[in-house]
Structure 1
Amino acid sequence: MSRRLALLLAVTDVVMILYWSLAGLLQIGLVDVPRDWMYAHYDHPEVVAWNWSFLPLDLAFSVLGLAAVAASARGDGRWRPLALLSLSLTSVAGLMAISYWAILGAYDPAWFLPNLVLFAWPLAFMPRLVAEMGARALSDLTASVRSDQKGSNSKS
């Protein structure tokens, strides 16, 4: 895993976990955040439900991303599928939020731009990651076929 990808995954995932920690503390009244820091209609029940509907998706990409970084640091090749899943879910989460704000016509840069970043940055890494995984799978398949051929030739 490149240092750049590891850094972006780690920062995105830690920031997302911090966001949800703050959201939880805010929800139960342990912290107060200035109204001008909040997104449009943050206190409407439907918007609260919309926001919380992202929790499973956001935590999934965060856990997968941090697991990918840890796997890569250990030299474990399973970091690639973990990273691909994390990148895909991160991009989807950003796109869903952008779509919501676009439908509402609410283009507050403080909320729109971070979600645009969540949507866009993973796209820069996904094609190469998919290509690497494909090449690796092809190499494994070729090695398996050769091994099978050697095994059947030695039995003859």
Structure 2
Amino acid sequence: MKTRKVFLVITDLGLVVYWTLTACGIISVGEGEWLKAWNWSFFPLDLLAIIAGLTWSLLPKQHKWATPTYATALAFTHAAGLMAISFFVLYATWDASWWLVNLWLVLMPLGLAIASMRKRAGQPTTA
């Protein structure tokens, strides 16, 4: 499996695990209905990212929807992470576990997008 597919599939499966554990009450973003509502507001966006990412991973490489589905998955994943990081900055909170996960959601799609553009331009890439 190619590097970009591994990164995206692991990220999507991580989101599935996160939302499953959250729904079961095993993990939480903290106390307070407001904070829990904020967290659940990400569910539709994360679900779209998961669907797009896993769909792309199953499509043949040359399928006409492969590139748009990949770009959509990266955009949704990036947006979810960026929204969370923006909240953490505005809320002035620091929790390494939340920051690191959401920095991954922000930076991983950017790295994959840059690698994909370089590959299309004929430049060397590792992804």
Q: TM-score, normalised by structure 2?
A: 0.85
Distance of 1:132 and 1:118 partners within structure 2: 22
CA contact (8 A) 1:64 1:82 kept: yes
Higher relative contact order (CA 8 A, sep 6+): 2
Query: Which residue in 1 is equivalent to 2:48?
Result: 60
CA contact (8 A) 1:98 1:116 kept: yes
CA positional deviation for 1:107: 1.4
Asked which structure has the greater CA Rg, the reply is 1
CA positional deviation for 1:83: 0.8
Q: TM-score, normalised by structure 1?
A: 0.70
Percent of pairs with identical residues = 30
* Equivalent of residue 111 in structure 1, options 78, 94, 98: 98
Amino acid in structure 2 at the alignment position of 1:78: W
Count of equivalent residues: 121
Q: Which runs of 4+ in 1 moved over 6 A?
A: none
Unaligned runs of 5+ in 1: 27-31, 134-156
Distance of 1:47 and 1:107 partners within structure 2: 15
The within-5 A match list for 1:141-152 is none
